[in-house]
Structure 1
Amino acid sequence: MECDGHLNHEILDIISAYELCIEQHKEKIAHIRTDIIYNNLSILSDVKRSEEIYQSKLSGLQECMTKKTVRMKSMFDSIVNDLNGFKTYKLLILQSRLQIPKRNITRKERYLYQLEQVLDKPVQFLICLKKTSIPRITFIPDTLSFSLSFEMNRVGAIKLLGEIQITETGKRQIRNEQLLELMHTPVCVLEKSFTVIGAMLVRHISCVTRDLIWISDPYGRIILTNTTGDPLHIVNNTISYTGGHSVTREGNLIFIDKYNNINKLSLDNKTCITLIKNTDPWKADCLFSSPSNGDLIVAIIRYDTVKNMYSDAKVIRYNSKGQQMQVIKHDNTGQKLYKFPKYITENHNKDVIVSDLNHGVVVTEFGGKHRFSYMGPPSGPRLSPLGVCVDALSNILVSDAKSQNVQMIDKDGHFLSLLLTKQKINVSGGLDYDNRDHLLFVGTTDHNRRVDVYRYIKRKDYLIDDFND
Structure 2
Amino acid sequence: MMYRLVLQKSVTVTGVYQCCHITRVSSDRVWISDYINLILTNTAGDKLHHLTGIGSYYGVHTVNSDGDLIYIDSDYNINKLSTDNKVKTTIIKYTAPWRPQCVYSSPSTGDLLVGMCYYTNGKWTGKLVRYNSTGEIIQTIQYNNNTGQGLYRYPTYITENRIGDVIVSDWSRGVVVTDRGGSHHFSYRGHPSGSGLIPRGICTDALSHILLCDDNTRSVQMLDREGNFLSLIKILLHRIDGPWGLSYDDNKHLLWVGSYHNNTVNIYRVVDGDSQTGK
Give the aligned partner of residue 157 of structure 1: none
Q: CA–CA distance in 2 between the matches of 1:455 and 1:341?
A: 28
How far the C-alpha of 1:185 sits from its partner, in A, is: 3.7
One-letter code of the match for 1:324? I
* Contact 1:223-1:233 at 8 Å conserved across structures: yes
Give the aligned partner of residue 315 of structure 1: 128
Give the aligned partner of residue 140 of structure 2: 327
**What secondary structure sits across from 1:191 in the alignment?**
strand
**What secondary structure sits across from 1:403 in the alignment?**
coil
Q: CA–CA distance in 2 between the matches of 1:276 and 1:213?
A: 23
**What secondary structure sits across from 1:249 in the alignment?**
coil
- Which of 96, 102, 106 is equivalent to 1:290? 106
Q: Is it true that 1:364 corresponds to 2:181 in the alignment?
A: no
- Which of 383, 400, 403 is equivalent to 2:217? 403
* Contact 2:177-2:185 at 8 Å conserved across structures: yes
Give the aligned partner of residue 246 of structure 2: 431
- Which of 25, 28, 33 is equivalent to 1:216? 33
How far the C-alpha of 1:420 sits from its partner, in A, is: 3.3
- Indicate the structure with greater strand content: 2
Give the aligned partner of residue 200 of structure 1: 17
* Contact 1:204-1:241 at 8 Å conserved across structures: no
Residues paired across the two proteins, number: 271
Runs ≥4 residues deviating over 3 A? 420-425
- Which of 426, 440, 452 is equivalent to 2:266? 452
- Which of 223, 239, 247 is equivalent to 2:63? 247
One-letter code of the match for 2:230? L
How far the C-alpha of 1:426 sits from its partner, in A, is: 1.8
**What secondary structure sits across from 2:4 in the alignment?**
coil
Q: CA–CA distance in 2 between the matches of 1:352 and 1:453?
A: 25
How far the C-alpha of 1:379 sits from its partner, in A, is: 7.1
* Contact 2:79-2:89 at 8 Å conserved across structures: yes
Q: CA–CA distance in 1 between the matches of 2:193 and 2:112?
A: 36
* Contact 1:303-1:310 at 8 Å conserved across structures: yes
Q: CA–CA distance in 2 between the matches of 1:310 and 1:347?
A: 30
Give the aligned partner of residue 263 of structure 1: 79
Q: CA–CA distance in 1 between the matches of 2:108 and 2:193?
A: 36
Counting only pairs closer than 5 Å after superposition, residues 110-121 of structure 1 correspond to structure 2 as: none
Q: Percent of counterpart pairs with the same letter?
A: 49
* Contact 2:209-2:222 at 8 Å conserved across structures: yes
Give the aligned partner of residue 204 of structure 2: 390
Q: Which structure 2 segments of 5+ residues have no match?
A: none
**What secondary structure sits across from 2:9 in the alignment?**
strand
* Contact 1:214-1:225 at 8 Å conserved across structures: yes
Give the aligned partner of residue 48 of structure 1: none
Q: CA–CA distance in 2 between the matches of 1:422 and 1:240?
A: 26
* Contact 1:361-1:374 at 8 Å conserved across structures: yes
How far the C-alpha of 1:312 sits from its partner, in A, is: 1.8
How far the C-alpha of 1:249 sits from its partner, in A, is: 1.5
How far the C-alpha of 1:222 sits from its partner, in A, is: 0.8
Q: CA–CA distance in 2 between the matches of 1:389 and 1:441?
A: 10
Q: CA–CA distance in 2 between the matches of 1:333 and 1:381?
A: 23
Greater relative contact order: 1 or 2 (C-alpha under 8 angstroms, separation 6 or more)? 2
The CA deviation string for residues 428-461 of structure 1, in whole angstroms up to 9 with x for no partner, is 4211111121111101145x11001001159xx9
One-letter code of the match for 2:198? S
Q: Which structure 1 segments of 5+ residues have no match?
A: 1-183, 462-469
- Indicate the structure with greater helix content: 1
How far the C-alpha of 1:320 sits from its partner, in A, is: 1.3
One-letter code of the match for 1:321? T
Q: CA–CA distance in 2 between the matches of 1:440 and 1:384?
A: 20
The 3 A distance-change label for structure 1 pair 277 and 457 is farther
Give the aligned partner of residue 86 of structure 1: none
* Contact 1:216-1:240 at 8 Å conserved across structures: no
Task: Compute the RMSD of aligned alpha carbons.
Answer: 1.9
* Contact 1:247-1:254 at 8 Å conserved across structures: yes
**TM-score normalized with structure 1 length:** 0.56
One-letter code of the match for 1:312? T
Q: CA–CA distance in 1 between the matches of 2:136 and 2:33?
A: 27
* Contact 2:2-2:230 at 8 Å conserved across structures: no
Q: CA–CA distance in 1 between the matches of 2:25 and 2:252?
A: 11
Q: Is it true that 1:441 corresponds to 2:266 in the alignment?
A: no
Counting only pairs closer than 5 Å after superposition, residues 131-170 of structure 1 correspond to structure 2 as: none
The CA deviation string for residues 90-149 of structure 1, in whole angstroms up to 9 with x for no partner, is xxxxxxxxxxxxxxxxxxxxxxxxxxxxxxxxxxxxxxxxxxxxxxxxxxxxxxxxxxxx
Q: CA–CA distance in 1 between the matches of 2:154 and 2:267?
A: 28
How far the C-alpha of 1:236 sits from its partner, in A, is: 1.1
Q: CA–CA distance in 1 between the matches of 2:97 and 2:3?
A: 45
**TM-score normalized with structure 2 length:** 0.92
**What secondary structure sits across from 2:258 in the alignment?**
strand
Q: CA–CA distance in 2 between the matches of 1:382 and 1:420?
A: 16
How far the C-alpha of 1:187 sits from its partner, in A, is: 3.1
The CA deviation string for residues 231-275 of structure 1, in whole angstroms up to 9 with x for no partner, is 000111011431000111221111001111111100100001011
